[in-house]
Structure 1
Amino acid sequence: MKKIRVSITVLFLVSFCHQICNGQTHHFWSQNYGSQSMLLNGSVIGGVSDLGAVYYNPARLALIKNPAFVISGDVYELNSYNVEDAIGTRADLNQSSFGGAPSLTAGTVKIKSLPNHSFAYAVLLRDDSNFGFNYHDEITTDIIGNIPGDELFEGEVSVINSSKDQWFGGSWSYAIKENFSVGSSVFVSKINSSKGNKYEMRALSNNGSVSMYDYNRNYQLNSYGLIVKFGLAYIMENWDLGMTITTPRFKINGKANYNYQLYFSVPPEADATETYANSYQNDLDLKLKTPLSIGLGASHHLSSKGALHLSAEYFHKVNNFDVFTANPHPMQSNPDSTVNFTLEDGYKSILNIGVGTEWYLSEKVSVYGGVSTDFNASPKNTISFVSQNERASNLSFDANYYHFGAGTVLKFRGAEFTLGATHTSGKSKFSKPVNLPINNGPSDVITDESGQFQWKRWQFIVSVSVPFLRDYMKKIEDKLKGSEGSN
């Protein structure tokens, strides 16, 4: 079958956008929760002191003296993408987006009859991305080899990528001693994800004949799962220690939808087989997995000057598995040709580490800083979804990220204000595709050249938290009693 040659620019942008869309799927330390915990880049498994404890170490809830309710935690993200030497002409491609970031809403609940028990609730976003991409190009070149002369070629690429993972849950903590507690958090994870790509290509030859190529493959995932985190917390004279175990994601229910379209038409003189094929499948069996992880943390208090925080978390390997498999479907124009598709996933084992510091300038002003790793857990030799192969991976971007954060916490009577920023960046190399066959196989012409893809993210944090009213009123009452006693 004769191939249609496609503009290198069009094909590159398909691959480029795919890298962007799936770049964060296999990173587990990309998001942080709680005002102070964000500035410390999550290195708080041992000494978390805000309501980020529901996520980092629920056992700490029973040891936090003044729990607060997060009434606003506004985090804004500026994401930028840069590709060096994008299309072999030393031209760079740049794209950026700005908007809200995943956040946390949490609060604590006290039960008088259970004085050593602490309870909390939380709603957080583990992932909330919506990146769509459209590219249109029109050139005059020799697209169809069997027809003499150049054709007027028009190509359009559309990529869809929308993913949201919401966690709803509660935490419990019990103080066995004044300095030792246990706890657990139970989260229901709701995942909604839509991914796909579409190519629309048309060519007009010198003799007025029209050729068309229309390809579209996409899928939607909808799933509910259960994740449990267990924690231990222990306080020494100058040290806060913590340990957590997070279970894999247990499936509650979930289904996948799969859509496929391939239409190809050329004039008779092109000597190519025309194609008409489509399939629309709903309620396919779906399987999503996450790894077991074990976290350790230690916070060292430097007298009244501040604290040093250290954390590490190991994520266990998950062998490759099939997320879903579409039912084989024949092409309507050629029943002897069957289209198959399976989406696969998997994780390699990784270890992330983080270091954070806090420094007390006064009773009302503290400064924070932190750095952490965020290694990519995707397995090697993944197959890109845009390759049109019968098997594809949910990820193809193999960059490792590094997070940096800094900010200040201002304490006033009845409220705390957090101002700060975090920065993340990562780089990855890739091969630049040249053309795309019109058949349902993979592209077989890849250049030996490679480009470099870089992702950068800035997060800007503006957070307000207040103590619970009863705790605040109790403090005022104690002060009043103290004043009366002195008189």
Structure 2
Amino acid sequence: MKSFVLVSLLLILFCRESSGQSNHYWTRNYGSESMLLNGSVIGGVTDLGAVYYNPARLAITDNPAFIISADVYELNSYKIEDAIGNRKDLTQSSFGGAPSLAAGTIDMKETSRSTFAYAILLRYNNNFGFSYRDEFSQNILPNVPEDELFEGELNVTNNLKDHWFGGSWAYKLKENFSIGVSLFGSRAEASKGNMFDMTALDVNNDISKYDYNRAYSFQSYGVLAKLGAAYSTDKMDFGMTLTTPRAHLFGKGNYQYHLYFAAPDESGIADIYANSYQSDLEINLKSPLSIGLGASYHIAENKVIHFSGEYFGKINPYKILEASPHQMQSKSDSTIYFTLMDGRKAIANAGIGVEWFLSQKVSFYGGFSTDFNAAATNSVSFVTQEPTATNLSFDANFYHLAGGVLLTFKGAEFTLGATHTSGKTNFDKPINFPSGNDPSVVDIASDGRMLWDRWQFIVSVSVPFLKDYVDKLEDKLF
């Protein structure tokens, strides 16, 4: 049973470590060209990724395309080295679609200095769950002779999504200088939990049972804004942005817990019965203030190099969700607490991207950017059964590489490319199983390492001719 428990708890920690990467701010990019430049486009974004990167650029960009689709397919793979000793590794992989951005502009008069756009984007997305089952014979119960037939099952859920939807307004103050603002509504939802079910049959045909589950979920609705300024010269494009903290408007959370344990009297382990199911809990969700700067330099007529950097402020520790204390029914003097915490440290990211226009129909792109971890130090794992846990704690820095090609045809633009991200972190490797009547005894040893590897394959279609099509249709009708 120790082997099963070790592997099972290790997998729970593995899932906990990979939870959404919401403590990384530059993990996702938006817009066909911007993705291939790894988001280093605050100063010179030319596609509708400007809604996210710098809304001011919308007013001084010629004919920004309407993005009908911007599909991203992700291949995620995880590996835990020396998971259970003796050079044994654990691996997990997944492949699926990850829609990035849908955006468009609103047609205005040619004499208007204002430009309006709208966008829906997926800011964070994680859906990682698995189950694990094993069965074997081993002497696992103290004071009970001979081996027991043991069966263990683990189920883990770990989901996080944050959709942003909103619009942008940009105003051209001069031919080469503009300001803009994007206002986003945010709908974030998360759920995390682990179920641990063990059953043992001893030589006396007595059954021992351990059934544990702790989980939470929440939905949060909020708003935030991004303000931008853009300035252009013949050789240089400059940009500056300020993103406000997320203001939580409303939302509710749920919490569930149960622990049932029963064993023969001769085992010497006390039985446990405890549960609590709570809903409509008050929640809060925050994001930091950030300031971005960028510049794009036209080295030659067919070459552009982009630089961008963004500073993200600190978020002091705060409560996302707090469950009402509840007593164990089998032991009235034992109270169980749970508080979900969050907090971020201040960080800064930077990126560089290069465009090379081979011809009017073919352009090549490449980019590199950092994606430093903003998780607060000394975070507590959700699996440890401690009364206070953190919502995010992937202690790793990511580095993004991207490359691809933009093919321009009459009436449409096609983008093909790929990005690669990798990171590694130490993790807590469980070595013991909770015993006795204490439901929170888990000894751990920090001597393992987890590696995360992600490939994104970009296939997007931009349609810049819609404005011309609408103009022709109006001429025919009127």
Fold similarity call, TM over 0.5: yes
**Cα distance, 1:305 vs. partner?**
1.9
**Cα distance, 1:474 vs. partner?**
7.0
Q: Deviations over 1:45-102 (max 9, x none)?
A: 0000000000000000001111111112121111111111111121111111110114
The yes-or-no answer on 1:37 pairing with 2:34 is yes
The yes-or-no answer on 1:331 pairing with 2:328 is yes
Indicate conservation of the 8 Å contact 2:183/2:224, yes or no: yes
What's the counterpart of residue 351 of structure 1? Answer: 348
**Cα distance, 1:470 vs. partner?**
3.1
- Aligned partner of residue 313 in structure 1, secondary structure: strand
1:364 aligns with one of 361, 365, 368: 361
Q: Tell me: CA distance 1:366–1:199, structure 2 relative to 1, closer, same or farther (3 Å).
A: same
The yes-or-no answer on 1:91 pairing with 2:88 is yes
**Cα distance, 1:153 vs. partner?**
1.7
**Cα distance, 1:113 vs. partner?**
8.7
Counterpart code for 1:75: V
| Mapping 1:335-414, distance limit 5 Å | 335-414=332-411
Indicate conservation of the 8 Å contact 2:362/2:406, yes or no: yes
**Cα distance, 1:8 vs. partner?**
2.1
Q: Tell me: CA distance 1:25–1:436, structure 2 relative to 1, closer, same or farther (3 Å).
A: farther
The yes-or-no answer on 1:238 pairing with 2:235 is yes
Indicate conservation of the 8 Å contact 1:410/1:417, yes or no: yes
Q: Deviations over 1:6-44 (max 9, x none)?
A: 632222222222222x15120110100000000000000
Indicate conservation of the 8 Å contact 2:20/2:159, yes or no: no
What's the counterpart of residue 77 of structure 2? Answer: 80
What's the counterpart of residue 317 of structure 1? Answer: 314
- How many residues matched? 472
Counterpart code for 1:190: R
Identity of counterpart residues, as a percentage? 59
Q: Tell me: CA distance 1:149–1:106, structure 2 relative to 1, closer, same or farther (3 Å).
A: same
Indicate conservation of the 8 Å contact 2:357/2:364, yes or no: yes
Counterpart code for 2:363: S
| Mapping 1:261-272, distance limit 5 Å | 261-272=258-269
Q: Deviations over 1:76-131 (max 9, x none)?
A: 11111111111112111111111011410000013329700000000111122211
Q: With structure 1 as the length reference, what TM-score do the two structures score?
A: 0.94
Indicate conservation of the 8 Å contact 1:322/1:345, yes or no: yes
Indicate conservation of the 8 Å contact 1:5/1:437, yes or no: no
What's the counterpart of residue 210 of structure 2? Answer: 213
What's the counterpart of residue 124 of structure 2? Answer: 127
CA distance in 1 between counterparts of 2:9 and 2:463 reads 52
Counterpart code for 1:446: I
Counterpart code for 2:123: R
What's the counterpart of residue 289 of structure 2? Answer: 292
What's the counterpart of residue 451 of structure 1? Answer: 448
- Aligned partner of residue 146 in structure 1, secondary structure: coil
Q: Deviations over 1:214-273 (max 9, x none)?
A: 010101111100010000001122110000000111011011100011111111112222
1:460 aligns with one of 457, 462, 465: 457
CA distance in 2 between counterparts of 1:437 and 1:469 reads 63
Indicate conservation of the 8 Å contact 1:4/1:144, yes or no: no
| Mapping 1:60-79, distance limit 5 Å | 60-79=57-76
Indicate conservation of the 8 Å contact 1:406/1:422, yes or no: yes
1:152 aligns with one of 140, 149, 159: 149
Indicate conservation of the 8 Å contact 1:422/1:459, yes or no: yes
What's the counterpart of residue 428 of structure 1? Answer: 425
Q: Deviations over 1:151-205 (max 9, x none)?
A: 2221111111122111110000000000100000000000111110110011111
What's the counterpart of residue 185 of structure 2? Answer: 188
- The farther-off stretch of 203-212 and 244-253 is 203-212
The yes-or-no answer on 1:279 pairing with 2:276 is yes
The yes-or-no answer on 1:11 pairing with 2:12 is no
CA distance in 1 between counterparts of 2:2 and 2:409 reads 67
1:162 aligns with one of 155, 159, 163: 159
Counterpart code for 1:246: T
CA distance in 2 between counterparts of 1:292 and 1:457 reads 27
- Aligned partner of residue 7 in structure 1, secondary structure: helix
Q: Tell me: CA distance 1:434–1:150, structure 2 relative to 1, closer, same or farther (3 Å).
A: same
What's the counterpart of residue 480 of structure 1? Answer: none
- Aligned partner of residue 363 in structure 1, secondary structure: coil
Q: Tell me: CA distance 1:226–1:427, structure 2 relative to 1, closer, same or farther (3 Å).
A: same
Q: CA RMSD in A?
A: 1.8
CA distance in 2 between counterparts of 1:444 and 1:223 reads 32
- Aligned partner of residue 17 in structure 1, secondary structure: helix
1:138 aligns with one of 132, 135, 138: 135
CA distance in 2 between counterparts of 1:94 and 1:177 reads 55
Indicate conservation of the 8 Å contact 2:4/2:134, yes or no: no
Q: Tell me: CA distance 1:473–1:194, structure 2 relative to 1, closer, same or farther (3 Å).
A: closer
- Aligned partner of residue 8 in structure 2, secondary structure: helix
CA distance in 2 between counterparts of 1:288 and 1:431 reads 27
Q: Tell me: CA distance 1:440–1:401, structure 2 relative to 1, closer, same or farther (3 Å).
A: farther
**Cα distance, 1:354 vs. partner?**
0.4
What's the counterpart of residue 109 of structure 2? Answer: 112
CA distance in 2 between counterparts of 1:307 and 1:17 reads 41
Counterpart code for 1:270: S
Indicate conservation of the 8 Å contact 1:388/1:440, yes or no: no
What's the counterpart of residue 484 of structure 1? Answer: none
- Aligned partner of residue 418 in structure 2, secondary structure: strand
Q: Tell me: CA distance 1:362–1:6, structure 2 relative to 1, closer, same or farther (3 Å).
A: closer
CA distance in 2 between counterparts of 1:102 and 1:143 reads 48
